[in-house]
Amino acid sequence: MPLFTLVCIDKPNALATRMAAREDHLVWARERLDQIKMAGPFLDEGGGMVGSLLIIEAEDLAAARAFAAADPYGKAGLFERVDINGFRTTLGHQL
């Protein structure tokens, strides 16, 4: 199945929004571990969370977009933008 990256950048000063939606996001993500190959937050210089990176399996770009739209973080209005692209591993750990 094809891989896709979801590069999600938080709105400025949105840590409170992130933290309010965090538990719902984690529950939602844990229910999709068969589809999520790697995920975690982007960090600023001080270690604060400022975005998210997910690498997922999806049937196609439309399915990857639907996956992103269902994320509680996105539903909470956390992200300034979400960039979704196809991905292929060429070096390192094969996903």
pTM of the model as a whole: 0.91
Q: Render pLDDT for 15-28 as a digit per residue (tens, 0 to 9).
A: 999 999 999 999 99
Tell me the β-bridge partners of 79: 10
pLDDT at 24: 97
What mean pLDDT do residues 38-67 have?
A: 97
Whether the per-residue pLDDT at 91 is higher than 90: the answer is: no
pLDDT at 16: 95
Q: Predicted confidence band at 32 (pLDDT cuts at 50, 70, 90)?
A: very high
pLDDT at 95: 64
DSSP state of 76: T
How far, in Å, CA of 18 to CA of 78, rounded?
6
How far, in Å, CA of 36 to CA of 29, rounded?
8
Domains of the chain by range and CATH?
3-87 (3.30.70.1060)
What mean pLDDT do residues 73-78 have?
A: 96
Whether the per-residue pLDDT at 93 is higher than 80: the answer is: no
